[in-house]
Amino acid sequence: MADLIERAAKLDAEDPLAHVRDEFDLEPGVVYLDGNSLGAPPRGVAARVEEVVRHQWGRRLIRSWTESWWSAPERVGEKIAPLVGAAPGQVVVADSTSVNIFKALVAAVRMAPGRREIVVDAGTFPTDGYIAESVAELTGTVLRPVPPDELDDVLSDQTAVVLLNHVDYKTGRLYDMAALTAKAHAAGARIVWDLCHSAGVLPIELDALKVDLAVGCTYKFLNGGPGAPAFIYVPRELQESFRQPLSGWGGHRDPFAMAPGYEPAPGIARARAGTPDILSLLTLDAALAVWRQVDLADVRAKGLALTEFFIDCVDELIGDAVEVVTPRDDRRGHQVSLRHPDAGALVAELTARQVIGDFRTPDVLRFGFAPLYNRYQDALQAANSLAEVLTAAR
C-alpha cells in the first residue's frame, strides 16, 4: 500500500492537467468516478445559466431568439468540432443522441439505394440497437447484429450502413475507428460512429478517417449537464445528400418564413429538426469553456495512466477477487470495468462510502475516469475502498 500512496502522490504532482481540476465544482470528500455517465459541472456554468435566465430570457425575452439563441446549435457545434477532428461547418448540437442516431441511420440508408442491410454492433448501447431496429423496420431493411471483431463476416454488397460504438459502454474497450471505417468503405457501405464514450477524452479524427456520420452525447466527458443535447457530424461533402427523416422547421432553409413546403437548409443546419433546448444548450456552451486551456493529447495520456494505475491498485489490493474486463493495453477508453457476482451491492456500498461509480447488469462495476478532474489519489482510494468492502463481506 505504501508504494501505491507514494506513486499516486508523485503522479498527481507531475499531472499537466492538475490546474484544470480547479475549474470544476466538486463535492469535498467525494471520489467521483462516474464521469462516463454524467460529467461534473465546471464552476462557470451556474453563473452563465443565471445570466441566461435572468437577462436573456428574463429581460430580452423573445428578442433573444434573433440576438443569440437561433444560431446557438451551430455556434456550440463549432466548439465541439475540434474535439472530434472536424473542420468548421460540420458539427451541430441539436436533439438527443437517440434522435440523432435515427437521423444518421435513415440518411445513410437513403445514400445507399438498392442496399438492404443495416449492420449494428451486437453488444451496442441499448438505444443504438433500439433505434437501428426501428430504422430497419421503417426503411424495409434487414438488421444484422454482429460483434465488431466479426465485421468481415457480414459485410457485403447489401450493406447500406454500419453503426458502431467507438468505446464499448460496458467493458470500456476502444475499437479501431480507422480500421473499421476502412472495412465498411471497402464494402461500399456508409459508417456511423457513436462517440458517446469517447468525445472529450480521446483524440478523434473524423475528417482524416473519412467517417461518413457520427453522433455523440455531451453530458458525459463534455460535462454539459443532465439532458444536455447531443451533436451530429455530417462532413461537408455529404451535406447536400444528407436527407434526414425529421424535416422539422429547425432545419428549414428559411425557418421563420413559415413556408408550406420543406426545403432543407444549406450546410450542417439541415441536420437540425425542432426548436433547440436553449437552457441546456447554453449550459453546455458554458461548460465547453474549459477546453480552451486543454490539449486532448494530454487528456488521453492522463486517461491511460489513470486507468493503468487503477488496474495496478486493483491487482495489488484486491487480486483475483474481481475480474478486470477492460483491456489492459491501449485498447481501452477512460473507464475500467470489473466483474463480480455481487456488483450491484458493491456499488451501493461504495456509494455509501462516498466513492461513486456505477453498475451494469448483471455483474459489472464501472469506474469512469475524467482526466480533467480525477486524480491518481482518487483511483487509489476507490480501489482501497473496494478492497475494504470485499473484506468486510467475507
Q: What is the pLDDT along the chain (394 residues), one digit of tens a residue?
A: 899 999 999 999 999 999 999 999 899 999 999 999 999 999 999 999 999 999 999 999 999 999 999 999 999 999 999 999 999 999 999 999 999 999 999 999 999 999 999 999 999 999 999 999 999 999 999 999 999 999 999 999 999 999 999 999 999 999 999 999 999 999 999 999 999 999 999 999 999 999 999 999 999 999 999 999 999 999 999 999 999 999 999 999 999 999 999 999 999 999 999 999 999 999 999 999 999 989 999 999 999 999 999 999 999 999 999 999 999 999 999 999 999 999 999 999 999 999 999 999 999 999 999 999 999 999 999 999 999 999 998 7
Q: Model pTM?
A: 0.97
Cβ-contact 42, 283 below 8 angstroms: no
Tell the residue number behind the cell numbers 453503426, with chain if given: 163
The pLDDT of residue 388 = 97
Dist. CA 262–CA 251, nearest whole Å: 9
Q: Which class in CATH covers the domain with range 47-292?
A: alpha beta
Nine cell digits for residue 129: 440497437
The pLDDT of residue 394 = 73
Considering only CA atoms, which of 21, 39, 32 is closest in space to residue 228? 39
Q: CATH number of the domain at 2-17+294-393, please?
A: 3.90.1150.10
Core vs surface per residue 322-339: b (16+ CB within 10 A) or e: bebbbbeeeebbbbbbbe
* Residues identified as active-site: 125, 194, 219-220, 366
**Main-chain phi, psi angles of 200, to 5 degrees:** 100, -10
Concatenated DSSP letters for 28-57? TT-EE-BTTTSPPPBTHHHHHHHHIIIIII
The pLDDT of residue 393 = 80
Considering only CA atoms, which of 274, 276, 254 is closest in space to residue 77? 276
The pLDDT of residue 120 = 98
Cβ-contact 177, 166 below 8 angstroms: yes
Taking 3-state DSSP, the helix, strand and coil percentages for the chain, each rounded to the nearest 5, stand at: 45, 15, 40
Extents of the domains making up the chain: 2-17+294-393, 47-292
Query: What is the phi-psi region of residue 22: left when phi exceeds 0, alpha when psi lies from -120 to 50, beta otherwise?
Result: alpha
Helix and strand counts by DSSP (H, E) for the chain: 12, 13
Core vs surface per residue 94-123: b (16+ CB within 10 A) or e: bbbbbbbbbbbbbbbbbbbeebebbbbbeb
